[in-house]
Amino acid sequence: MTTTSTVPAVPSQRSVLERLLRPHSIAIIGASPQFGKVNGRPLKHLLDKGYAGRIYPVNPKYTEIAGLACHPDVASLPEAADLAIIALPAREVEACIAALGRRGIGAAVIFSSGFGEMGAEGKLLEQRLRRCADEHGVAFCGPNCLGFVNAFDKVYATFSQYADGPTSAGPVAFVTQSGAFGTAIAALATQRGLGLGYFINTGNEAGVPFSDLMLSVIEDPRIRVAAGYLEGIRDGEGLIRLAERCAELGKPLVLTKVGRLAAGARAAASHTGSLAVGDEVFDALLRQHGVLRARNEEQMLDMLEALCSERAPQGGGLGIATQSGGAGVMMADRAEELGLQVPELAPPTRAALAAVLPAFGSSNNPVDVTGQFVGNPDLLRESVVALLQDPQVDVAIVWLQLMTAYVDLLVPIFQEIRDRTTKPFVVCWVAAPPDALRRLRAEGIVVFGAGERAVEAVAALVRYHQGRRLAAGRRDERASLQAAVRQVEGPAATAQWQAGVQPTLQASARLQSAGVPMAAVALARSADEAVAAWRGFGTAVVLKIESPDITHKTEVGGVLLNLRDERAVREAFATLMQRAAAARPQARLEGVIVQPMSSGQMELAIGVQRDPHFGMVVMVGIGGVLIEVLKDVTFRLAPFSQAEALAMLEELRMRALFDGVRGAPAVDRAALAGLLSRLSVWAAAMRPWLTELDLNPVLVGPQGATAVDCVMVLEGPPAAPPA
Amino acid sequence: MTTTSTVPAVPSQRSVLERLLRPHSIAIIGASPQFGKVNGRPLKHLLDKGYAGRIYPVNPKYTEIAGLACHPDVASLPEAADLAIIALPAREVEACIAALGRRGIGAAVIFSSGFGEMGAEGKLLEQRLRRCADEHGVAFCGPNCLGFVNAFDKVYATFSQYADGPTSAGPVAFVTQSGAFGTAIAALATQRGLGLGYFINTGNEAGVPFSDLMLSVIEDPRIRVAAGYLEGIRDGEGLIRLAERCAELGKPLVLTKVGRLAAGARAAASHTGSLAVGDEVFDALLRQHGVLRARNEEQMLDMLEALCSERAPQGGGLGIATQSGGAGVMMADRAEELGLQVPELAPPTRAALAAVLPAFGSSNNPVDVTGQFVGNPDLLRESVVALLQDPQVDVAIVWLQLMTAYVDLLVPIFQEIRDRTTKPFVVCWVAAPPDALRRLRAEGIVVFGAGERAVEAVAALVRYHQGRRLAAGRRDERASLQAAVRQVEGPAATAQWQAGVQPTLQASARLQSAGVPMAAVALARSADEAVAAWRGFGTAVVLKIESPDITHKTEVGGVLLNLRDERAVREAFATLMQRAAAARPQARLEGVIVQPMSSGQMELAIGVQRDPHFGMVVMVGIGGVLIEVLKDVTFRLAPFSQAEALAMLEELRMRALFDGVRGAPAVDRAALAGLLSRLSVWAAAMRPWLTELDLNPVLVGPQGATAVDCVMVLEGPPAAPPA
């Protein structure tokens, strides 16, 4: 899909989403003169708000509505309008779509409910709708949606309550899967003076999905920030494309997705691979692509306010100027928790502050300007200017409260601070007079009502710009990773295997050749072979039962450790075969796996899973067998670079272990990251076939990383397996 | 301190805090007719708001102010007023206090700044002020404070901006160490319709501390909820008394303390005992006494709104009725994170819901009532009533948005829901019309503006009432714990020891007799003695260097494990002595400690530290030597019961390990909790002498808990040590 940001002369050459979202003409199917009703409201809004395009009401009951000619049906429309708004009962929608197609109208927004949200019958109706639209070449938003607003071009193709109030066009595009919640968020945005250039409710998303709508609106040069509210993922790859495109355009994307825990609850506890589920994968995708996640609507709006700032912080140094020492401490604490720095100020800054501050103020950061600035405005102005000029300060927060009688004094001070500085700053004005908020926002000055929230929003702004600086490098990485994936895909497509749990020897060899260091391994089909393998390794060994039908060997007592002599090995072979036969009489027993005993400084677990929405996902966690208790894990979508893998390791809670504790040396992070990156390339290439991979434990020490145990599950191979 | 809630006939018999906070007469020292100034504002407020007591302005410059006789000095006052407001320059305050004392005025609030907050000179002035007040028997609030408001009795002894606006008396007492932040919080409370019965700013707290002021106001029967804002702890034991008294009265206490991380940063990483510092101890105190901690002002106000509800939830079952499925999921997730349950509804509830809900609604919890209730009010009313009648539901949240045109419809619905039910519920109305908020609050219906915040407030309400149900039992426990402490104190006071790190044998014996199971231990002064000890134990042993000068044995290579034969033991003895002598040439070497090798299913660390504010603090954490990396620790003030220790264990992140993982049996939680409780009793008794205790590791398995290693540091003993 391509879109253009200028409006070409010939409408029909514009992309279908261009015509849908920025129509030059609109037909309202089922239009009504009753402006309070769902089918009356869009026309009212279009007229009230001054839509400049052509409007065609369609309804056989009327010849005219609000002074506009009303057409009896779609066929008799005087032109193929860019967009049709469908406000008909569900049972009439399919025929309408067909009529639109025949009339050459290629884009529609369908308000009608009674589809997928209404049980089996509704789902069937929705399937038919989708098929009909495909056949007739009609792209549509909905059904069961509130429609959308393009406030720039005064397109009010909606019956949402949101359009009732004053709606100002602005740099934010907001696309929401929920109608009710989305409307509330849009109303809250308006209350804060955040202008929404687009407000789109996607409803059932039977037609154009969330990501395509968002991809279209972010191309609009009038949009600077994108925000989305999601209840589920319907198009994972579209979401990845959207994240990539936002990064290319340098437009921040903020997403709120509900259902953070529901997916987690489904996770089976027995597989480490299965720790990679739903929400964690979504979260990984966002981190990987520099998308900000807001946990709720308030955080989303806070982030949007900060992101609408024209100024970008060059680092994470936060300067705080405050009227209350305690508020300063609270904000500094929160900043530290969120990874910002609250730097010591440079001597010239401190000298400049000391020159203006009263004796009981503080020229440390946080700078306590005290309440004296009411009598002496210089105090506030010069303090904040000095703070922003400090080389370690990248962004500042100015905290004050009430000052109801001093709005006229304070607003110009903030304007002057803005004019005399180049770094971003935000005002936190607790219990502010409404007039102060309005006037500061009109000046483009970002203002919050609570200190911790101001810090959280600033942290998001810093995180976004840090991510952006890294993103350029990532684009080159992506090309070379894709090339690496293609190199692996070729051999994989001609290989042969049986579907199911792979024999340890083959799985191990496959990973070894993919660049994953594997512990030595031998298969013994008899006690004699086990003894021979033990002799060959020349060290204590571990024996593990080998069967395609036994994935979790420890559950059948199928592992015996630290076998040091012939008798022990011989007995262990017999014991394992007996135990397995007793526990799983139906299991095919191939013998036992013999491995040298190995130990590392740290035990990790690494898993690969195929996510239905996003593809292959690699997990790494600290803790080996305790991984499910420790839950110290993190995820990335495959493929990813070694640099990305290093960033991944830094997300682990117990990352201090990598540096060695209590005198232990640092482990080889680079080797581990290399293993993860190569594994991710292999996993991406094996996407059609790899169901699950579980490396646990992976032992890591100062000399590198080695996977000791692996469970690999493959689907049927590209070529037929040998009989 | 005792207070009475009725006003006795003879004022002088009332307690000094009674006279300070609920004065029948007020002298304003330094009063001014300029009502905009600090020394003019209190009189203006008292007159404007209608204070009914007697007011005596004092200022030699005037004979009359606002129609009141103005007195030239304190001595010439016609009566010993209950309270003096001091609005004088700092240098005149001391003399004024002396004059008050001579005139028989025992309570004052001092606005004047220029004391402790102004460097060394100011601190000196403050010390003299305190001494003078002690000598003259004057209790005072301040200096450097905004004063206070007792809105019930219209006592506006303040110059705070807060008193400028309308201030309604209500069930909340708010005491704040910060003037500026506190004023903002009070203003926000008023904006939310939360009535503050008391607003007190404590300033420098040179006189009556925060806890005593709060202890006085919570006795007022008109107060139902107490809230405090703290910047530092000046009176730890007072805070404990306050928490206990609030629990006895059944009045919730909510505290916000800034400086959550600053103290943590000071923590040295080398001692596990030192993990018990500052903020964590404060946090432990609050948990132990059922005090709620709000991390910032917004959370504090949210909690206060919920706590002002007259209804108490009997459990943690949350019912959610929502107009948006997505908002329901978001709230259910947050509820789960906070330990609430979102229960499946009982069949009768589901039947009742199915009877009223439209087909596309959901009669699961969260109940999706859809937007249809606008046309059919029954739908909302009957759904919420049914939800609240479900036996698993203890409290409900009703989520809706905007509905600007339907306030007249909705407010009566919520009134009727309230009247037909007995369980607590809160309304979450996103982007609510201001009129809706005002009307619901006037009806005593709690209303929030964001879903997650509603859940957080409800969770605090549930936590408070759960804590309250436990509190009754705790009061009996406390008496028996104190008796146990006294039993230990006697022998401790007659014991003998050398100050410093205690020899392992003595430390171990002392703990063993305090009821802490210790691993067997022997001291060997020679290789022969070490071998004899090894033979005595009859198992593999560990040798550790023993020296009062070497606290961290591993740092000098002073531990050798798993010694299985005579030669190994003999060599180990020599090695340890050589290593220690090389690493610490000055250290006195007593020999080596011999212990049987021991192992447990889990390694814990237990520490005791003496907190300067709160006394003895016991820490327990999972992880043994990795404790500093895992940071999975929790704290309690000593002494505490076994039940409290069990609750403590449940706070650990990796508590699942106690139940056994991967086939391991559950460990003996009760034994571990018993150990912790007995240790806490001993630690409380040893408060004057015990500086630090470090038990690491403590091994726990199905058969009990044993401390393997201990470092005990004592100060000089009660009696002189033997030479």
Buried b (16+ CB within 10 A) or exposed e, A305-344: bbbbbebbbebbbbbbbbbbbbbbbbbbbbbbebebbbbe
Q: Which residues of B touch A177 (CB under 8 A)?
A: 326
Q: Let me know whether A438 and A581 are in one domain.
A: no
Residues B182 and B250 in one domain: yes
Q: Within 13 A of B436's CA, how many CA atoms are on the CB side?
A: 24
Please indicate, yes or no, whether residues A177 and A325 belong to a single structural domain of this protein: no
Which residues of chain B neighbour A259 with C-beta distances below 8 Å? 329, 333
Confirm if B229 and B177 have CB atoms less than 8 A apart: yes
pLDDT band at A624 (very low <50, low <70, confident <90, very high): confident
Shared domain for B606 and B581, answered yes or no, is no
Which residue among A113, A188, A333 places its CB closest to the CB of B430?
Answer: A188
Which domain range does residue B578 map to?
520-596
pLDDT of residue A270: 32
Kindly indicate the confidence band of residue B563, based on its pLDDT and cuts at 50, 70 and 90. very high
* N-terminal to C-terminal alpha carbon distance within chain B: 46
Q: What is the CATH number of the domain that holds A525?
A: 3.30.1490.20
Amino acid symbol at B705: A
Q: Is the pLDDT of residue B7 over 60?
A: no
pLDDT at A281: 86
Q: Does B664 touch chain A (CB under 8 A)?
A: no
Shortest alpha-carbon distance between residue B324 and chain A (Å): 6
In a domain, A721, yes or no: no
Read off the pLDDT of residues B576-589 as tens digits, 9 standing for 90 and up: 999 999 999 999 99
For residue B298, what is the nearest residue in chain A, using CA coordinates? A450
Instruction: Give the model's pLDDT for residue B571.
Output: 96
Supply the pTM of this predicted model. Answer: 0.91
Residue of B nearest to A296 (CA): B452
**Stretch among A17-21, A428-432, B465-469 having the lowest mean pLDDT:** B465-469
Query: Nearest C-alpha of chain B: how many angstroms from A25?
Result: 31
Over residues A361-388, the pLDDT tens digits come to 677 899 988 877 777 888 899 999 999 9
Q: Do A229 and B663 touch (CB under 8 A)?
A: no
- Tell how far CA A43 is from the center of its chain: 36
**What distance in Å separates residue B118's CA from the closest CA in chain A?**
5
**Contacting B residues, span 594-633, partner chain A, CB-CB under 8 Å:** 625-626, 628-630
Q: Mutate which of B330, B653, B667 to test chain A, going by most A C-beta atoms within 10 A?
A: B330
Residues of B in contact with A298 (CB under 8 A): 450, 452-453
Q: b/e string for A233-256 if b means 16 or more Cβ within 10 A?
A: bbbbebbbbbbbbbbeeebbbbbb
Q: Give chain A's mean pLDDT.
A: 90
How many angstroms away from the CA of A59 is the closest CA of chain B? 25
Shared domain check, B638 and B554: no
Q: How far is B154 from chain A (nearest CA, A)?
A: 23
pLDDT band at A53 (very low <50, low <70, confident <90, very high): very high
- The nearest CA of chain B is from the CA of A115 a distance in Å of 10
* B624 secondary structure, DSSP code: G
Provide the 8-state DSSP code for A587. Answer: P
CA distance linking residue A132 with residue A235, whole number of Å: 21
A45 pLDDT higher than 90? yes
A24/A52 Cα distance (integer angstroms): 8
In a domain, A265, yes or no: no
Task: Give the confidence band of B268 by pLDDT, cuts at 50, 70, 90.
Answer: very low
How many Cβ atoms from other residues are within 10 Å of residue A70's Cβ? Answer: 20
In a domain, A283, yes or no: no
Asked whether residue A39 falls in the same domain as residue A181, the answer is yes
B432 and B332 share one domain: yes
Asked if the structure places residue B166 within a domain, the reply is yes
Q: What is the mean pLDDT of residues A312-320?
A: 96
The pLDDT tens digits for A564-600 are 999 999 999 999 999 999 999 999 999 999 999 887 7
Dump pLDDT digits (tens) for B634-670: 999 999 999 999 999 999 988 988 998 767 889 999 9
Residues B19 and B159 in one domain: yes
- Least confident range of A135-144, A285-294, B241-250, B368-377: B368-377
Read off the pLDDT of each residue in A157-166 and give the average, rounded to a whole number: 89
Cβ-Cβ contacts under 8 Å, A337 against chain B: 261
Q: A219 lies in a domain? A: yes
Q: Which of residues 532-561 of A touch B (CB under 8 A)?
A: 554
Q: Do A402 and B161 touch (CB under 8 A)?
A: yes
Cis peptide before B11 (omega within 30 of 0): no
Label residue B2 by pLDDT band (50, 70, 90): very low
Interval B196-236: pLDDT, tens: 999 999 999 999 999 999 999 999 999 999 999 998 888 88
Instruction: Give per-residue pLDDT as tens, A54-92.
Output: 999 999 999 999 999 999 999 999 999 999 999 999 999
Tell me whether residue A256 is in a domain: no
Q: What is the chain A residue with the closest CA to B325?
A: A178
Instruction: Write out pLDDT tens, residues B279-297.
Output: 888 888 898 889 999 999 9
Average pLDDT score over residue span B158-185:
92
Residues 639-658 of B with CB under 8 A from A: 654, 656-657
Higher local confidence (pLDDT), A473 or A583: A583
Q: Which of B233, B266, B299 is the last residue of a domain?
A: B266
C-beta atoms of A654 and B630 within 8 A: yes
Using pLDDT thresholds of 50, 70 and 90, give the confidence band for residue A360: low
Q: How far is A280 from chain B (nearest CA, A)?
A: 14
Domain boundary among A389, A411, A445: A445
* B113 neighbourhood in chain A, CB within 8 Å: 360
Residues in A touching B161 (Cβ below 8 Å): 402, 404
What CATH number does residue A75 fall under?
3.40.50.720
CA-based nearest distance A328→chain B, Å: 9
Q: Do B62 and B184 fall into the same domain?
A: yes
Res B720 pLDDT > 60? no
Taking an 8 Å cut-off on Cβ atoms, the answer to whether A180 and B359 are in contact is no
B167 shares its domain with B100: yes
- As a whole number of angstroms, the distance between CA A513 and CA A521 comes to 14
Domain boundary among B596, B629, B650: B596
Q: What is the pLDDT of residue B566?
A: 95
**Mean pLDDT score, B31-54:** 95
B273 pLDDT higher than 80: no
Whether residue B330 and residue A258 make contact (CB cut-off 8 A), yes or no, is yes
Nearest CA in chain A to B624: A662
In a domain, B396, yes or no: yes
Mean pLDDT (whole number) for A470-475: 74
Contact between B184 and A401 using a beta-carbon 8 Å cutoff = yes
Can you tell me the distance from the alpha carbon of B199 to that of B147, in angstroms, rounded to the nearest whole number? Answer: 9
Report how many Cβ contacts below 8 Å link chain A to chain B: 166
Return the pLDDT at B4: 40
Q: Do both B414 and B558 map to the same domain?
A: no
- Is A326 at the interface with chain B, CB within 8 A? yes
CATH number at residue B644: 3.30.470.20
Report if residue B381 sits inside a domain: yes
Distance linking the first and last C-alpha atoms of chain A:
45
The tokens describing B56, both together, are 């005596």
Are residue B322 and residue B405 in the same domain, yes or no?
yes
Chain-chain contact of A296 with B402 (C-beta, under 8 angstroms): no
- A272: contact with B, CB 8 A cutoff: no
- Alpha carbons B27 and B58: distance in angstroms, whole number: 7
Long-range contacts from A653-657, C-beta under 8 angstroms, 24+ separation:
A653/A622, A654/A622, A654/A623, A654/A630, A654/B629, A654/B630, A656/B628, A656/B629, A657/A602, A657/A622, A657/B626, A657/B629
Q: What is the mean pLDDT of residues B246-254?
A: 95
Q: Which residue of A has its CA nearest to B335?
A: A261
The mean predicted confidence, pLDDT, of chain B is 90
DSSP state, residue A665? P
Strands B253-257 and B292-293: parallel
Total count of domains within chain A: 4
pLDDT at residue A268 tops 50: no
A residues 103..162 contacting B (CB < 8 A): 113, 117-119, 161
pLDDT at B378 over 60: yes
Q: Which of B247, B312, B215 is nearest to B470 (CA)?
A: B247
